[in-house]
Structure 1
Amino acid sequence: MTNRNEETAVQLSIDQIVVAVNSEDPEQQFLGMQEARKMVSGGDIPIDLMIGRGIVPTFIQFLQHNDKLQFEAAWALTNITSGTTEQTHYVIQMNAVPHFITLLQSPYMDLVEQAVWALSNIAGDGAAARDIVIQHNVIDGILPLISNETPLSLLRKIVWLMSNLCRNNIPSPPFGQVRRLLPVFSQMLLSQDIPILIDACSSLVNVADAENNGIQAVIDAEAVPRLVHLLQSSDFRIIALALHIIGNIAFGTDQQTDSLISAGGLTKLGLLLQHSNGHIVQETAWIISNITAGSQTQIQAVIDAGIFQQIRHLLEKGNVKAQKNAAWTVTNTILSGTSEQVLNLIENQKIIKPYIDLLEINTYPAIINVVLLGLEKLFRFSEQICGTENLCLMVEDLSGLDKLKALLFHEKEYIKRIAYIIIYIYFKTT
């Protein structure tokens, strides 16, 4: 194929371009097409003007040639599809998509890359455009392009195209087609390339968010151990995306949460509770709180991972959102844990003092409510096991009773009511 770097020095007006591309002379066609591409790429001529002059269908016809004209036409159309929704839809209406799909089989990698780029622009323009690209069997066209020998520039564009096929969840893309991409996204999580990792993770976020069976499909694609590994990335964006998917998994069934624990997720999550970024810390604490809302085996795994040391630190010094999630971690353990696990919180983790101290955060009644819920259950638990006398003494020694009495004057009625119930039932002689 002709060297792509060959550029003509001729400059044509829009009228001359129209004449040239509609000529029967191949050299004139190429000259007009190349000049049109340069003007569109450089922003020297409005896309709407080119559409209005009726030459875009001619560009699409040139995609069916098998010479250097294809590349210039593909390049120009790629720029047009990066414009407005109306401009992209015009290209679709002129039936460009099947011709771009055919170009995916070209022996010329630069032409293939241009076709992938154009299809990415089209698929990213909304659910309707995305589905048209899918309906033309784009997945069959791109999967064979992926190998260990695929150039990085092309691979990035392929993953970006695949990512756009998973976006725009109203309506969601056909899940049977998206599922075919998941093994590739899972494999891409092993990449060292940041753009590829971001697109692969973003795609898995979309799948896990959009489909009832999306979480299980991500697990079945063997992505969980790779996502756990990405939690130690130095790139904040990758950590945030991996956390989002892992959060969905932890919010799923017990079996799905077990896949996260089995992949070593708790160790990495424990480290992230010490991260310098507050958003990552609070998201991680939210995930831990969901795990402790699961089975007693899962609660024990959290205890065994030493995570409650970091939870105690968050209760003491975390930002408000992190404190709330840490409080839920404790409350869920009290609500669902075994007697041994609850006693571990009290005796070994020394969690009760910072937990009770949250009762003083009057401006955040949601946090107070979480703690009161846990305390009420803790008293009922003690009543059944060994009586409440020792727990009452401990709470009083930690100024907990004073904090409960102060809540009797809280502006929220439900806070007053729970505080009153605890005081009346368990401290009525005080």
Structure 2
Amino acid sequence: MSLRPGSGSAWATRKKSYKSGIDPREIRRRREEDLFGIRKNKRHDTLFNKRTQTHTTHSRNTFLEAISAMVDHICSEFPPAELEKTRHAEILSSLAAQCPSIDDVIEQGIVPRFATFLSRDDAPQLQLGAILILTSIACGSSQHKRVIVELGLVPSFVNLLSSSSNDDIKEEIVCALGFIAIDSPSYRDLVLNHGVLLPLLSLLNPLPRLSMVRVTTWTLYSLVRGKPPVNFEQVKPVLPVLHQLIHQTDEEVVADACLALSYLSEVSIDKIQDIIDAGVCPKLVELLHRCQSDKVVLPALRTLGNIVTGDDAQTQVVIDNGVLPCLCQVLTREYKKMIHKEACWTISNIAGGNRAQIQAVIKANIIPPLIQILQHAEFDVKKESAWAILSITVGGSRDHIRFVAAQGCIKGLCDLLSCPDPEVVSICLEGLENILWVGEADKEVGLHDSVNIYAQRVEECEGLDKIQKLLVHDNDEIFEMALRILKKFWPVLENDLEAILDLHIEPDGEEYILDIQIAR
């Protein structure tokens, strides 16, 4: 049974001895967690505040009292009445950010009437009033968005984005399209397939007012996120624009541009070179070094982490841009847990490269804070640190392994052997086994008085007792790893092992005889 995600058969091929050597590239791991969190809610709150700041005295009751009259006027043949009523609706649209108010608008059957106003190029205020209502609906629930989509308004929005000269109208349309796209991959693809990308990118050349830059950047992010991933070739033209946006001074713009890059960099491993060729690596590394905002650092770090899941040459580009000292700095700063976790994951993938890259990790003085995290951080951050140590022991030289052992990693690995996560136990056993093989090689050439000093250290850290207890673990792979380690490095325990192996107790209490015998 494979315990390591996304590695296929590579993880199932056990390391039979130190000299056998797993290909370091096989230990690199892709991230599957989604960074999507507060951005949608933040944009919703911004939109709501914008709409309500001058109309706070209106209540839902006022809206319900006025809605019948609004329907009468909205269907008037006279444009002035339409315009007057749309302005009235614009005032009341401050309530449309609340689900009951949106439902009231929809239930009255007036949304199609508002949709017809999109073509009124002769009355831009009428268009804007209608768009304000429609955008309020688009930023509602998935059911509310479906109303907009089923009315066929996506192509109308895209056309108006290209044809209108009114910046307020364009900004509202960009916002509406972003909310529709972020709802689901199918809506995202719908918006893209209607040709939104080029008119959207044209809004940023030259850069418009800040509010437009912010909403456009957020919408670009909305158009590239989601699983299944976006068609990379369809959105590839966004890369030079994102390169421009991460150089802006507005934190919100930079954060959303970094988020977009983080999603594009994980679309497919064979697209990593396109991300590198866009020239974003130097600025992303600079953001790690200079910026202390979590909402910028996290997606910048995720993008760099995705890049180093590529081959050694692609990883070297990130190293050459100075990422390792920045990662060391990130580990020692007071960031939230997720950032430390991402940093450890990135380090583990760099250490999954060649020996020169492992040496670069060590030279950057990353190992001491990494081991501090292994011993003292929260569990899921410890797990990523353990992966990084394992990467070094898999692909590193004997000197590299001696170094991480001397820094105190054995205790951290032993402490995690009793955790309930079988993947973590497997990682720690693998790392310890690799370290023990180096100790055994040193012992065989007469070093340390012909004693395996790492086996001694495992015992001092109560690791031996924990490994013995794993002989009754219900995960067969963990059982086999523990047995192999004990047989090789503690042969004096053979009689005790036989007694343990005579009977294996299943979790349900049933007994069965093991078919694994100790070699004699």
TM-score, normalization by structure 2: 0.72
**Deviation string for 1:178-220 (max 9, x for gaps)?**
2111222222212222222222222222222333434333222
**Deviation string for 1:271-295 (max 9, x for gaps)?**
1121223443333223212211210
| Amino acid in the other structure paired with 2:256 | D
SS of 2:266 mapped into structure 1: helix
Kindly indicate whether the alpha-carbon contact (under 8 Å) linking 1:299 and 1:337 is maintained by their aligned counterparts in 2. yes
SS of 1:222 mapped into structure 2: coil
> After superposition, where does 1:75-90 map in structure 2 within 5 Å?
75-90=132-147
| Amino acid in the other structure paired with 1:281 | H
C-alpha displacement of 1:31: 1.3
Question: 1:297: which partner in 2?
Answer: 356
Structural RMSD (CA)? 3.3
Distance across 2 between alignment mates of 1:303 and 1:328: 15
Kindly indicate whether the alpha-carbon contact (under 8 Å) linking 2:258 and 2:299 is maintained by their aligned counterparts in 1. yes
Distance across 1 between alignment mates of 2:216 and 2:379: 41
SS of 2:119 mapped into structure 1: coil
Q: Does 1:154 align with 2:209?
A: no
Distance across 2 between alignment mates of 1:315 and 1:135: 47
Distance across 2 between alignment mates of 1:101 and 1:319: 47
> After superposition, where does 1:4-403 map in structure 2 within 5 Å?
13-43=66-96, 46-66=101-121, 67=123, 68-104=125-161, 105-170=163-228, 172-232=229-289, 233-277=291-335, 278-315=337-374, 317-342=376-401, 344-345=403-404, 350-351=406-407, 353-356=408-411, 358-364=413-419, 365-366=425-426, 368-379=428-439, 381-382=441-442, 386-387=445-446, 389-390=448-449, 392=451, 394-395=453-454, 398=457, 400=459, 403=462
Identify the match of residue 409 of structure 1 among 461, 468, 473: 468
TM-score, normalization by structure 1: 0.85
SS of 2:248 mapped into structure 1: coil
Q: Does 1:423 align with 2:489?
A: yes
Distance across 1 between alignment mates of 2:450 and 2:256: 52
| Amino acid in the other structure paired with 1:38 | I
Q: Any gaps of 5 or more consecutive residues in structure 2?
A: 1-50, 420-424, 474-478, 495-520
C-alpha displacement of 1:402: 7.7
Distance across 1 between alignment mates of 2:167 and 2:435: 65
SS of 1:218 mapped into structure 2: helix
Distance across 2 between alignment mates of 1:240 and 1:93: 36
C-alpha displacement of 1:77: 1.0
C-alpha displacement of 1:399: 6.7
C-alpha displacement of 1:317: 4.2
Q: Any gaps of 5 or more consecutive residues in structure 1?
A: none
Percent of matched pairs sharing the same residue: 27
Distance across 2 between alignment mates of 1:178 and 1:13: 44
Distance across 1 between alignment mates of 2:231 and 2:374: 44
C-alpha displacement of 1:257: 1.1
Distance across 1 between alignment mates of 2:110 and 2:139: 17
| Amino acid in the other structure paired with 1:229 | E
Distance across 2 between alignment mates of 1:344 and 1:70: 68
C-alpha displacement of 1:231: 1.6
| Amino acid in the other structure paired with 2:81 | Q
| Amino acid in the other structure paired with 1:90 | V
Query: Residues 373 and 249 of structure 1: is their aligned pair in 2 closer, same or farther, counting only changes over 3 Å?
Result: farther
Query: Residues 240 and 418 of structure 1: is their aligned pair in 2 closer, same or farther, counting only changes over 3 Å?
Result: farther
C-alpha displacement of 1:113: 1.0
Kindly indicate whether the alpha-carbon contact (under 8 Å) linking 2:402 and 2:438 is maintained by their aligned counterparts in 1. no
Query: Residues 123 and 368 of structure 1: is their aligned pair in 2 closer, same or farther, counting only changes over 3 Å?
Result: closer
Query: Residues 15 and 247 of structure 1: is their aligned pair in 2 closer, same or farther, counting only changes over 3 Å?
Result: same
Higher relative contact order by CA 8 Å / sep ≥ 6: 1 or 2? 2
C-alpha displacement of 1:239: 1.8
C-alpha displacement of 1:246: 2.0
Query: Residues 166 and 302 of structure 1: is their aligned pair in 2 closer, same or farther, counting only changes over 3 Å?
Result: same
C-alpha displacement of 1:269: 0.4
